[in-house]
């Protein structure tokens, strides 16, 4: 048994972590655009990366050096260092060579988001790093420095207390997954803990919990070259407890994932697709994700149109074996289709419409075929999304 | 050897076919909303249907009766007769029972597009059919009656002359695949010929040619419950010639498919994604379709933004094994990325931008890995698409 408490501080809430965001001149208007996470005590690190075949420079740099422990993560926005070939990796190495004159680096790690196909502005980054104060505990500023089209920063911290009196903390920050003018933005997430967790355990638990969190959300269905989730553990707490850590990691990843959806480009709604009664969890997952990715469904959410025909279309289009006669669809507690029968009438439509007006709600799809279930999360898609993504680069 | 000539008449260009469109009161403002295709001589029919698991009533009716020859196709818009269960099929049978009092029906076939989950308005359809003039040869009016959000009708006819002096014709009409307020629209296509083609050959050749035509286009990536391509052959020409028919069918399906993309909801551009140098044709197809379906790429087309980073993202996201160092991307003849190197500069960007301004153009992606190639076709996606699909039902 354990207790979890929400606390302040984000990624610097756990003991022994330092972080800050500064303005290196990548963004305009003196906005924060470069950040670091520093742990004087060398920390274990686990990672999961995008499934995109063109992994960006920072991802390939991390894998090239097979990094399993580090004391320093450098993050920049406005430049993804993607499609930059071997120079993209060499630039990171050269950057860290420079920084190592000032900072005692151990397997430093980089993470980037921004324009594709442009080499890193090394001089700006080196000059920017001159501003770093390694004793700063400004998780808030780091969370703001990694933002691109995000409307607000995303951070969280949880303190865990075990029955035996021991305690530790986990912090996290993330930035959103929508595309940015002039090029691609990315989902980045950084999780810190003072618990003693091995690199393998970090990666395994990240992977386990990604399925129902970051992989269950959809903003536009596209996959970036830079998507990354890092977790680092410096062991300052002096012990390991998997049960509570797994639970806390899941909670933090779920929170940040939902924040990303809610802050999707131009998004006004956060909608859950709860698929139940599937033959298997895999079937339910496939359907829930198809619904969350469907452009027709997303635009219907934007239009607040309780158009269950599109939900049925999405279920049928998923490729999963389903039965019209056993299918039921409900907007929250308002059933619109039950066991193959359309229940729509003026009253039901008015009630469903009222639910569509909400900022957050769940659409339930019961397949009536088994016990498999899965929840996905999506935002609506409207004019603002088109505006953000269609504007010519300036 | 054979010659092909574009001719007038659409689906009634081939001998022995009659068709018309009438107003049955399904659409407002006296717009045509119901059509028939009639061949006094019983014709062979081949069909391919949507991969959506929830096939609409007309599709299940056709398969229930295992129809291989017919003399009559009835088509309505504004009601998809989808998600209507066994009543959806019974309604079609009841409708044809009524019509058989007036028309000598042989295995009549139905095809519908429109709202999901609403039963067919049988009385309107029966009353509408009273207006049918079975001696009419108004392919044009039939093509207009099946339109939903289509901005213009889509029809074509080709006359084929063989070296031995024999000749025949093939006609076709189609309606677009975008979603319609208040519910789903559908891709429907009807092809007629007076060539003598068996039902099996019709279905086989439809399937063969669908891959590079109707299955190579993307408007919004969603799959309707009603998508159908029918081909009927009444044998009036008295012979069969596969080589020329295959070629002509391909030509007609390609023409109608491209018309559908060009007339996608709110679409202003018709863009080809020509993927070359893949390890296999299947790889090329997967990439070309991923590019055509990508929301980020479609909005960049709308914004006329030569943002090749999004093209690279789409290629990498397709799941196909690719190499950054061997990849080249070009907008028509303007290379922007070659063998892993970004060629973008002010001049290249200006030239690529000028190409993006065109109404039609091709984006070439060379993977440098083999001989596989495939072309897909997509439209841009802008405010108008959101507007059409987001408006609450009225």
User: Which of chain A's residues have a Cβ under 8 Å away from the Cβ of B221?
Assistant: 294-295
**For B337, which of A52, A117, A184 is closest by C-beta distance?**
A117
Of the residues A179, A225, A378, the best mutation for testing chain B's interface (the one with the most B CB atoms within 10 Å of its CB) is: A179
Q: What is the bridge-based pairing of β-strands B188-193 and B228-233?
A: parallel
Quick check: A318 and B53 CB within 8 A? Answer: yes
* Cα A210 off chain centre by: 9
Quick check: B325 and A85 CB within 8 A? Answer: yes
**For B295, which of A117, A220, A324 is closest by C-beta distance?**
A220
Percentage of the residues of chain B whose pLDDT score is greater than 90: 78
Angle between helical axes of A308-317 and A281-293 (0-180°, round to 10): 130
**For B390, which of A303, A315, A393 is closest by C-beta distance?**
A303
Quick check: A300 and B53 CB within 8 A? Answer: no
| Rounded-to-10 torsion of CA B24, B25, B27, B30 | 90
User: Which of chain B's residues have a Cβ under 8 Å away from the Cβ of A116?
Assistant: 308-310, 312-313
Q: How far is CA B274 from CA A10, B220, B379, in A?
A: 47, 19, 14
The per-residue pLDDT for B185 is: 53
Average pLDDT over residues B119-148: 96
Quick check: A314 and B222 CB within 8 A? Answer: yes
User: Which of chain B's residues have a Cβ under 8 Å away from the Cβ of A312?
Assistant: 54, 82-83, 116-117, 225
**For A116, which of B220, B304, B313 is closest by C-beta distance?**
B313
Nearest to A145 by CA among A258, A12, A36: A36
Within 10 Å of residue B200's Cβ, how many Cβ atoms? 11
- B341 pLDDT above the threshold of 50: yes
Domains recognised in chain B with CATH numbers: 2-262 (3.60.70.12), 270-390 (3.10.20.340)
State how far residue A237 is from chain B, nearest Cα, in angstroms.
40
What are the beta bridge partners of residue A234? none
- Give the CA radius of gyration of chain A: 22
DSSP B79: B
Q: Which of A70, A84, A113, A186 is catalytic?
A: A186
Average pLDDT over residues B4-25: 97
User: Which of chain B's residues have a Cβ under 8 Å away from the Cβ of A182?
Assistant: 305, 307
Q: Which of B50, B70, B84, B186 is catalytic?
A: B186
Annotated catalytic residue B84: no
Q: In a structure prediction context, what are the per-residue pLDDT tens digits for chain A, which is 394 residues long?
A: 899 999 999 999 999 999 999 999 999 989 999 999 999 999 999 999 988 889 999 999 999 999 999 999 999 999 999 999 999 999 999 999 999 999 999 999 999 998 889 999 999 999 999 999 999 999 999 999 999 878 899 999 999 999 999 999 999 999 986 643 333 457 899 999 999 999 999 999 999 999 999 888 877 767 788 889 999 999 999 999 999 999 999 999 999 999 988 888 778 899 999 999 999 999 999 999 999 988 888 888 999 988 898 899 999 989 999 999 999 999 999 999 999 999 989 999 999 999 999 999 999 999 999 999 999 999 888 888 788 777 644 3
* Cα B268 off chain centre by: 18
- B108 pLDDT above the threshold of 70: yes
Smallest CA–CA distance from B392 into chain A, residue: A305
State how far residue A59 is from chain B, nearest Cα, in angstroms.
14
User: Which of chain B's residues have a Cβ under 8 Å away from the Cβ of A382?
Assistant: 386, 390
Quick check: B392 and A118 CB within 8 A? Answer: no
User: Which of chain B's residues have a Cβ under 8 Å away from the Cβ of A313?
Assistant: 52, 54, 116, 184, 222-225
**For A386, which of B308, B310, B382 is closest by C-beta distance?**
B382
- At residue B186 the predicted structure's pLDDT band, cuts being 50, 70 and 90, is confident
Instruction: Give the integer Cα–Cα distance in Å for B93 and A65.
Output: 69
* pTM for the whole structure: 0.88
The per-residue pLDDT for range B254-302, each reduced to its tens digit, is 999 999 888 887 788 999 999 999 999 999 999 999 999 888 888 889 9
Quick check: A318 and B344 CB within 8 A? Answer: no
| Cβ within 8 Å of residue B159, ≥6 positions away | B4, B5, B7, B13, B167, B168, B169
User: Which of chain B's residues have a Cβ under 8 Å away from the Cβ of A223?
Assistant: 313, 316-317
**For A309, which of B83, B337, B341 is closest by C-beta distance?**
B83
| Cβ within 8 Å of residue A339, ≥6 positions away | A325, A326, A327, A328, A368
Quick check: B386 and A390 CB within 8 A? Answer: no
Average pLDDT over residues B116-138: 96
A-B contacts at Cβ under 8 angstroms: 211
- The length of chain B is 394
Q: Which token pair is B108?
A: 């009549």
Q: How much is the mean pLDDT over chain B?
A: 92
- At residue B393 the predicted structure's pLDDT band, cuts being 50, 70 and 90, is very low
User: Which of chain B's residues have a Cβ under 8 Å away from the Cβ of A296?
Assistant: 179, 184, 220, 222, 389
Smallest CA–CA distance from A182 into chain B, residue: B307
Sign of CA dihedral A352, A356, A358, A360: positive
What does B147-209 look like in DSSP terms, one character per residue? -SS-SS-EEEEEEEEETTS-EEEEEEEEE--S--SSS----EEEEEE-S---HHHHHHHHHHH
Nearest to B116 by CA among A374, A340, A313, A61: A313
Instruction: Give the integer Cα–Cα distance in Å for B158 and B12.
Output: 11
């Amino acid at each position: 048994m354990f207790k979890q408490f929400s606390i302040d501080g984000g990624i610097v809430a756990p003991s022994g972590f330092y972080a800050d965001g500064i303005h290196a001149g990548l963004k305009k208007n003196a906005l924060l655009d470069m950040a670091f996470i520093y742990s004087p005590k060398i920390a274990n690190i686990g990672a999961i990366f995008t499934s995109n075949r063109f992994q960006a420079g920072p991802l390939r740099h991390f894998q090239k050096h097979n990094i399993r422990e580090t004391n320093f993560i450098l993050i920049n926005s406005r430049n993804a260092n993607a499609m930059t070939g071997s120079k993209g990796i060499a630039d990171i190495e050269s950057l860290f060579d420079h920084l190592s004159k000032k900072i005692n680096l151990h397997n430093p790690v980089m993470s980037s988001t921004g324009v594709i196909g442009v080499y890193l502005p090394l001089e700006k980054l080196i000059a920017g790093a001159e501003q770093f104060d390694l004793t700063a505990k400004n998780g808030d500023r780091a969370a703001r420095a990694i933002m691109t089209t995000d409307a607000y920063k995303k951070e969280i911290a949880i303190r865990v207390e075990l029955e035996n009196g021991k305690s530790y903390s986990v912090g996290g920050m993330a930035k959103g997954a929508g595309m940015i003018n002039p090029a691609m933005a990315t989902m980045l997430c950084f999780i810190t803990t003072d618990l003693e967790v091995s690199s393998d355990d970090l990666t395994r638990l990240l992977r386990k919990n990604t399925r129902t969190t970051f992989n269950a959300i959809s903003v536009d269905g596209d996959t970036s070259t830079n998507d990354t989730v890092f977790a680092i553990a410096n062991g300052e707490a002096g012990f390991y407890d998997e049960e509570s850590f797994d639970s806390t990691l899941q909670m933090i990843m779920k929170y940040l994932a939902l924040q990303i959806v809610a802050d999707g480009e131009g998004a006004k709604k956060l909608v859950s697709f709860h698929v139940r009664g599937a033959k298997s969890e895999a079937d339910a997952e496939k359907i829930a994700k198809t619904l969350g990715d469907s452009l027709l469904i997303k635009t219907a959410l934007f239009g607040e149109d309780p158009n269950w025909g599109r939900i049925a279309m999405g279920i049928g289009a998923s490729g999963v074996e389903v039965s019209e006669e056993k299918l039921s669809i409900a907007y929250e507690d308002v059933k619109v289709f039950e066991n193959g029968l359309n229940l729509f009438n003026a009253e039901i439509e008015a009630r469903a419409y009222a639910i569509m007006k909400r900022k957050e709600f769940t659409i339930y799809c019961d397949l009536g075929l088994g016990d498999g279930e899965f929840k996905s999360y999506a935002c609506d898609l409207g004019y603002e999304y088109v505006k953000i993504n269609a504007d010519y680069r300036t």
